Chains A and B, each alone.
Chain A
Amino acid sequence: MSEATGVIHDIGYQRYTGPRLGRRQVFGALYGHGLRTVFGLGRSAKAKIFPWLVVAVVTVVAAGLTAVRSQIGQVVLTYAQFADAMSWLVIFFVAVAAPELVSRDLRSGVLPLYFSRPLPRGDYALAKLAALITALWLLLGGPQLVMFLGAAFTTSRGMRGVWDELLDLLPGLLYAGLWAVVFASIGLLVASLTGKRAFAAGGIVAVFLMTTPVVGVLSIMPSRTVNELAFLASPSSLVSGVGTWALGDLLTQGQEGGIPIGGFGPVYAVVALLLVAACVSLLLLRYRKVAAR
């Protein structure tokens, strides 16, 4: 029996005695980081080009609308119609943002590092989704706020006019939230399927673009029911349908607008809910397996 000769030296590593932050803080950190990633904050100038290009275009359009309204006193686009008119830019923004959020992590293989922390699988996906939803909502809501401020300061009816304008703005913001939820969940699901940002961006655009003409074709079919259900086929017209049903006149404010969905409003709401639920659960399912590779 030989004596143990090894000695463990105390070389002065300090133990961590501070507070240990839990799951909520991990989620919050991922969310905050995701939101910064979407707008390219804290990254090189190249990463800022595309997101801020979209933000700039949207803001300029809103400023132009405000200027026109204050000059000729006519509402060109209501708050909700503004969201509809910007749909192509929203699609482009999702195609820029969603691959940045999830595809980079897949490609550089850092997911095992994330999941070696006390971070449930679902939290990662949900934090990224929440970040994208917030970013899209800011993208659509910010310009609406610009339009509101312009209208509020040029109103000729004092506080009463401002209050009416605010009542118009709130459904618009709600509607922007609906846009954000639907587009973010579809876009993030497509992006999470591939680690190549280029393919993810192409895939997202393909999904959104190829469904739009389907609506156009279905709405000229020789059946009224099919015509009124046609707008289910594409995410953007689906959102418009839900908006027309749920918010109705609040969206169009007496102007011509809205889409002819007949009495199928509840169907649109249910389909939108199912679509979002399906996308989110597929996303969670995807992240249950993805780190195993």
Chain B
Amino acid sequence: MSTVTWITARGLFGRSRFLMLLPLPLILIGLAVLCRSLGVDPGQWGPPVLVGLGLAVVLPVVALIVGTGVLGAEIDDGTVVHILTKPLPRWQIVLPKLAVAAAVSAVTAGIPLYVAGVLADSVRLGLALVAASAAGALAYSALFLALSLVTRRPVLLGLVYVLIWEGLLGRFVNGTKVLSIQQWVIALADRMAPTSLLGTTVSVPVAAVLTALVAVGFTVLAIDRLRSFSVAGETS
């Protein structure tokens, strides 16, 4: 475990702010348990809980907060200079941070999704959701990490993507679904555990290829942007 990994993990967990992430997964588990104990038909509560809350809100929002936080927080308060002045290749800075961000998002979103998936259908669906959301967490984290290097307002730009592109346009304009990480995750999970609970228009090979492409592409972009990074003050 490299020092950068260690610093990043401590930067995430060392503050009480991290507790802000807890309510999201807890609500997801709570709703699933509530529905199950009241005997509601899984076909009815599955889509709003698994997709509406889990894959459309918990996964992207957690990945957004964590993904922009691992590097963005250091850029914000200027301490990124300490890492940049060390004789490290840039990829040794970006990759550990990406790994921490993806792992934290995958665990935070994966555990409640597993519980909800098991309660809704079967262990197989739970495991499929965990695997798919881990792939999604990697893609989201790479995207948001790159955003925090490309712009000074990564969270707002990330929100534009999550809220307007995936949320608003994804509902009304069908074509944008092909370029939505959320739909790829749904497609992957549906392929691994075919149920009637998850449904999407995106085909599985397209989803798999695009997920890998986004993960790799934005990581390369982040490494490239960090190569010629200028440290500036807070935007006005």
A243 to B162 Cα, complex, angstroms: 28
A52 within 8 A of B: no
Interface positions, chain A 84-133, Cβ under 8 Å from B, are 88-89, 91-92, 95-96
A43 within 8 A of B: yes
Shortest Cβ distance from residue A202 to the other chain B in the assembled complex, whole angstroms: 4
Which among A46, A92, A205, A217 is the interface contact of B49 at CB below 8 angstroms?
Answer: A217
Chain A interface bracket (under 10, 10 to 19, 20 to 34, 35 or more)? 20 to 34
A220 within 8 A of B: yes
Chain B residue, CB-CB nearest to A43: B236
Complex interface bits, A166-193 against B, C-beta within 8 A gives 1, otherwise 0: 0000000000000000000000000000
B210 within 8 A of A: no
Shortest Cβ distance from residue B162 to the other chain A in the assembled complex, whole angstroms: 8
Interface positions, chain B 35-64, Cβ under 8 Å from A, are 35, 38-40, 44-45, 48-49, 52-53, 56-58, 61, 64
Shortest Cβ distance from residue B230 to the other chain A in the assembled complex, whole angstroms: 15
Q: Are B153 and A209 in contact (CB under 8 A)?
A: no
When distances are taken between beta carbons in the complex, the residues of chain A under 8 Å from B27 are: 210, 214
When distances are taken between beta carbons in the complex, the residues of chain A under 8 Å from B150 are: none
Complex interface bits, B64-97 against A, C-beta within 8 A gives 1, otherwise 0: 1100110011001000000000000000000000
When distances are taken between beta carbons in the complex, the residues of chain B under 8 Å from A43 are: 236
Shortest Cβ distance from residue B87 to the other chain A in the assembled complex, whole angstroms: 29
A282 to B164 Cα, complex, angstroms: 30
A257 within 8 A of B: no
Q: Are A221 and B40 in contact (CB under 8 A)?
A: yes
When distances are taken between beta carbons in the complex, the residues of chain A under 8 Å from B57 are: 206, 209-210, 212-213
Given that A88-B164, A88-B167, A92-B159 are contacting pairs, would A202 and B40 also be in contact in the complex, using a CB cutoff of 8 Å? no
Interface positions, chain B 129-168, Cβ under 8 Å from A, are 152-156, 159-160, 162-164, 167-168
When distances are taken between beta carbons in the complex, the residues of chain A under 8 Å from B9 are: none
A57 to B169 Cα, complex, angstroms: 12
Complex interface bits, A202-228 against B, C-beta within 8 A gives 1, otherwise 0: 110110011011101100111000000
When distances are taken between beta carbons in the complex, the residues of chain A under 8 Å from B236 are: 43-44, 46-47
Complex interface bits, A1-25 against B, C-beta within 8 A gives 1, otherwise 0: 0000000000000000000000000
Which among A47, A95, A96, A222 is the interface contact of B39 at CB below 8 angstroms?
Answer: A222
Shortest Cβ distance from residue B48 to the other chain A in the assembled complex, whole angstroms: 4
Shortest Cβ distance from residue A174 to the other chain B in the assembled complex, whole angstroms: 25
Chain A residue, CB-CB nearest to B157: A50
A27 within 8 A of B: no
Beyond the given pairs A96-B156, A206-B65, A209-B61, 16 more chain A to chain B contacts, judged by CB atoms under 8 angstroms and listed by A's residue number, are A43-B236, A46-B153, A47-B236, A50-B160, A197-B155, A198-B73, A198-B154, A199-B69, A201-B159, A206-B23, A206-B57, A210-B24, A210-B57, A217-B34, A221-B35, A222-B40
The 3 lowest CB-CB distance pairs between A and B, nearest first, are: A213-B53, A216-B48, A213-B52
A-B contact pairs, 22 of them (CB 8 A): A46-B235, A53-B160, A57-B164, A88-B163, A89-B168, A92-B160, A196-B73, A202-B155, A203-B20, A205-B61, A205-B163, A206-B23, A206-B24, A206-B65, A214-B31, A216-B52, A217-B31, A217-B34, A217-B35, A217-B49, A220-B40, A222-B39
Chain A residues near B (Cβ < 8 Å): 43-44, 46-47, 50, 53, 57, 88-89, 91-92, 95-96, 194, 196-199, 201-203, 205-206, 209-210, 212-214, 216-217, 220-222
